[in-house]
Amino acid sequence: MSAGRRRTFDKSEALDMAMRVFWENGYSGTSMSDLTEALGINKPSLYAAFGNKEQLFETALNHYMSHYGAPIFERLKEPADAPLSERIRSYMLGIIDVINNRQSPKGCLFVKSCCEAGSTAIPDDISLSLQAMRQANERLLTKVVESEQKRGCLSETAKPKDIAEYLLSVLYGLTVQVKQGKSRKELVRIVDIAINALPVK
């Protein structure tokens, strides 16, 4: 153990809480005072633990993607013998549970941040991170569709990247709809219509 006074708050709990505040109010809609108030700590403690606003947001965004996003992506791969449409449905239902959950703000921090990106409202470095995250998501989804096509379960004329972009569009749209009060049932109906468009064989 190193010398010095011990932190009186749990750093990972604080990060999760900070993420929720950004999730609720967005980058430019959140002030450092909002954060210290929600976390119940002082500004010097916040800055010492997480750096400045931009660095804290970046950390919170990564926490969001790895803790709330990445686990759901696993559903695209398993069970490996299940048809693609079934795995995609499971994936999209998982996303619905994240963006429409009583325990956390409605909507998606990632999509919300994308809408703020590319302007003076958000630092350029964060816009670049978001861009990289979207590319990673799209590539992952494309690969899943691709391997399904190689298995012969998907129309040969369909382009995996187009299908991935289409599915992500629907998902991004869901996160907007949920902010306007759409229920889980309605969101699931949208997903089912969307999946119906897939050229499965």
Partner DNA sequence: TTAAATATATACCGATCGGTACATATTTGC
Partner DNA sequence: GCAAATATGTACCGATCGGTATATATTTAA
- Which positions touch DNA (CB under 7 A)? 1-9, 30-34, 41-45, 47-49, 52-54
Q: What are phi and psi of 200, to 5 degrees?
A: -75, 150
Task: Quote the crossing angle between the two packed helices 109-116 and 11-25, to the nearest 10°.
Answer: 60
| Residue owning tokens 């629907």 | 170
User: Could you tell me the smallest distance in angstroms from the CB atom of residue 20 to DNA?
Assistant: 16
Tokens, residue 141: 């989804």
Q: How far apart are CA 35 and CA 21, in angstroms?
A: 7
Report the partner that residue 6 touches, choosing among its own copies, DNA, none (CB closer than 5 to 8 A by kind): DNA
Query: What is the binding site for its own copies (CB under 8 A)?
Result: 24-26, 28-30, 34, 105-107, 111-112, 114-122, 130-131, 134, 159, 162-163, 165-166, 168-174, 176-177, 179-182, 186, 189-190, 193-194, 196-197, 199
Q: How far apart are CA 160 and CA 156, in angstroms?
A: 10
Nearer to its own copies, 8 or 157 (CB): 157
Report the partner that residue 67 touches, choosing among its own copies, DNA, none (CB closer than 5 to 8 A by kind): none
Report the partner that residue 136 touches, choosing among its own copies, DNA, none (CB closer than 5 to 8 A by kind): none
Q: How far apart are CA 36 and CA 46, in angstroms?
A: 7
Q: How far apart are CA 126 and CA 113, in angstroms?
A: 9
User: Could you tell me the smallest distance in angstroms from the CB atom of residue 2 to DNA?
Assistant: 5
